[in-house]
Every structure is written in structure tokens, then in C-alpha cells.
Structure 1
Amino acid sequence: MNNSYLKIGISVMLLLLISPTQAADINAGKTRAAICMGCHGDAGVSKNRMFPSLAGQTSAYLENQLKHFKSGERENPTMSAIAADLSDADIKNLAAYFSSLPGKSAGGDAKLAPEGKDKAAMCMGCHGNKLQGNGQFPKLAGQHPQYLRKQLNEFKSGTRKAGQMNAIAKNLSDEDIKALAEYFGSL
């Protein structure tokens, strides 16, 4: 009988020690997203060609990037300042909110997009077969080509660090980068 009480006591103590993971709150994310709208658009679809659209982006990728901005691992004066004030719950909620929104195509140069399509197979292994994003890898489909070109050039130069992307981008010509960005934007 004492053995049963001991087992119950240990079980209760273990349950108390294990902190449950709090589910993301999309509505809290929507409320907190007001600060994001100036650059990333009212519904997460950026109207500024130099800022990414967040709508439909994977929540894992968004959480990861916000944490990188907060820690200083990824640098951007505006994003670093905003992320510094975000709690872990805020980050999770924002990521859930933006990932729940429908994305939209930014469009791309109709002449260059087919050339980019021919080169995009190398991107699909990480970013998904429709470049829709895959876990920690971002959605490329529908992003502004200008933003994508900037990011690929930063990976190529090493200004933006991400081991595998740095290695891949180093092998891309300026023409490859432009064609890929136009194709991704056209999706």
C-alpha cells in the first residue's frame, strides 16, 4: 500500500515539474502585430519591395528569425529594436498569426521567371517542392524579387550568415540571382 502512495506522489511531483508548452494565441499575435504593419503590410503582405511579406510564412522560420534578431545573431537596427521587446510568448504568437494568413504573389518579370524556374530545383530540397517553406526554411514563393535579390546577395557576400545558404549563394551568378528572385516572386 505504501508503494502505491509513493508511486502516486512521484507521479504528481513529476507532473508539477514538467511545464506544459503553451499553445500560441493567434489573436494575441494579431494584436501585437500592429507594430509590424508599417513594413510588412496590414495582412502580412508587404507593399514595400525591400521588406518581406510574412503572410503564410512558416511559424518555425518566423520564430527562429525573431529570436535571431533579439539575440543579435541577425542584425537589422529596426528589427533588433522591435525584437528586443518581445517575450517568448509574443514571438510564438506573432509567428502563429502571420503563418495563419494567406500569402499573395508579388509578381515577377515574365521573361526572367522561366529562366529562374529552370534553376530553382536546387532550392526545393529545403524550401519545399512549391517553395512554400518547410519548417525552419522560409517560404520563397510570392516574396518581392528585390527583397530576395538583396538577401541572396547578402548570403553570397557573407553579410548574412547561414552556412548552407552562404555556400549555395557563392555559386550563383548575378544573372542566376536575378532569375531566381523573379521566379520566386511570380509564384
Structure 2
Amino acid sequence: MRLFAVIALLLVATSSLQAEPIAERAAPCLACHGEAGTSEMENIPSLGAQQPAYSLIQLFMFREKLRRFEPMNEMAKDFSDDDLRLFSDFLATLPKPKPPAEAGEPARMASARILTQQFRCDSCHNADFAGRDNIPRIANQREDYLVKTLREYKDNSRHGYDATMADVMQSVTDPQIVELAYFLARVR
């Protein structure tokens, strides 16, 4: 029994030591993406509770410069594949972003909900917009970031690992993009 207790303590101590370095290594990431994974910086996404497979793909794309944004390309350039997995798994453990205190204008929210159904956002991002696997969490993402990203998919200046979003966005108008972002940032 005593041996079991010693082993348990060692496992806890080891896991604490392993958790500490990633928290320290992630400090530069969280300087922009928010201490708890909720960004307060314009056009910078919140990454708390993000799907690990999605984060892994994005970090890989930044490292390989398949997705270009100089600060991220620079930060990811020396990451090993194990580093990419470690950071992706870490981001998933951060708390999910909270919706703003202001719930959103009811008529506008209802109208935008219809848009999410029309464009079938929930077929990939799930009914709660939390994403799954390699499909990102978009619930309670920054509104400005959502507008920017959706516009980039529409004008084909943002390339994903497949063309799904670019295809979906072709029939979405700019006013609809604004409404979708408004809704997704506030969804409860």
C-alpha cells in the first residue's frame, strides 16, 4: 500500500513537472491569444478549448508557411511535430471563451440563427458550434476575427487545408457575414 502511495505521488509530481514547461512555453502565445485562451486583441482569435486536431493543423500550416502570418510563422518555425501536438493539446485544456455579457439583440440573433441553418454551419461545426476533430470551435470567438476570417475565405485569400470553407462562403453576402459573426460571438 505504501509503495502504491509513493508511486502515485511520483506520478503526480512528474505530471506537474511536465505541465509546467508547456505553460511556460505557451506564455508568448497567450500574450496575444489571452492568458486563459480568450483574446482581448483585435483580430486575434481566442484559442481556449479549441479542437486539438484543428490547432495541430493550423500550427503545422504556420510552421510550413502554408498559412502566412509573420508573427505565427516565426513562432512556429522551430516547433517539432511533438511540439505541435503538445501546444494543440494544451490549448484544448484552456477554458472555452465566454459569450459577452450582452446577449445580443433577440431579433438579430434569431435572424442570424436562420442564416446558420441556411448555410448549414452546424453540419460541420456542430449544433453548439464547438467544432469537432479538425473543425474549429467558433462559438464565442471574437466577432472581429470571425468577420475577418469569413471575408478571407470568401475572397479566397485564406487557404485552409481543404477548400470547404471557401466553397461555402461564395454564396454568403458581406451583410450576412457580419450577422453570422454577431451571432457566433454571442451564441449561448
Number of matched residues?
Answer: 163
Displacement, 1:141? 0.1
Q: Which amino acid aligns with 2:88?
A: A
The CA deviation string for residues 141-167 of structure 1, in whole angstroms up to 9 with x for no partner, is 010111000000000000002301001
TM-score by length of 1: 0.82
Tell me the residue number matched to 1:102: 95
Q: CA RMSD in A?
A: 1.6
Tell me the residue number matched to 1:114: 110
Three-state SS of the structure 1 residue aligned to 2:54 is helix
The CA deviation string for residues 75-127 of structure 1, in whole angstroms up to 9 with x for no partner, is 10110111102121211111111101111234377233322211112111111
Tell me the residue number matched to 1:84: 77
Percent of pairs identical after alignment?
Answer: 29
Aligned to 2:65, which of 53, 63, 72? 72
Distance, in Å, in 1 between the alignment partners of 2:65 and 2:83 is 18
Tell me the residue number matched to 1:132: 130
Q: Does 1:161 align with 2:155?
A: no
Three-state SS of the structure 2 residue aligned to 1:120 is helix
Distance, in Å, in 1 between the alignment partners of 2:93 and 2:109 is 27
Tell me the residue number matched to 1:180: 180
Tell me the residue number matched to 1:54: 47
Displacement, 1:27? 4.3
Question: Structure 1 residues 169 and 31 mapped into 2: Cα distance closer, same or farther (>3 Å)?
Answer: same
Displacement, 1:139? 0.3
Q: Does 1:38 align with 2:31?
A: yes
Three-state SS of the structure 1 residue aligned to 2:60 is helix
Distance, in Å, in 2 between the alignment partners of 1:66 and 1:115 is 34
Question: Structure 1 residues 109 and 146 mapped into 2: Cα distance closer, same or farther (>3 Å)?
Answer: farther
Q: Which amino acid aligns with 1:138?
A: P
Three-state SS of the structure 1 residue aligned to 2:180 is helix
Distance, in Å, in 2 between the alignment partners of 1:138 and 1:57 is 6
Question: Are the equivalent residues in 2 in contact too, given 1:28–1:93 (CA < 8 A)?
Answer: no
Gaps of 5+ in 1: 1-24
TM-score by length of 2: 0.81
Tell me the residue number matched to 2:6: none
Question: Are the equivalent residues in 2 in contact too, given 1:56–1:102 (CA < 8 A)?
Answer: yes
Displacement, 1:176? 0.8
Structure ID, larger Rg? 1
Distance, in Å, in 2 between the alignment partners of 1:179 and 1:113 is 8
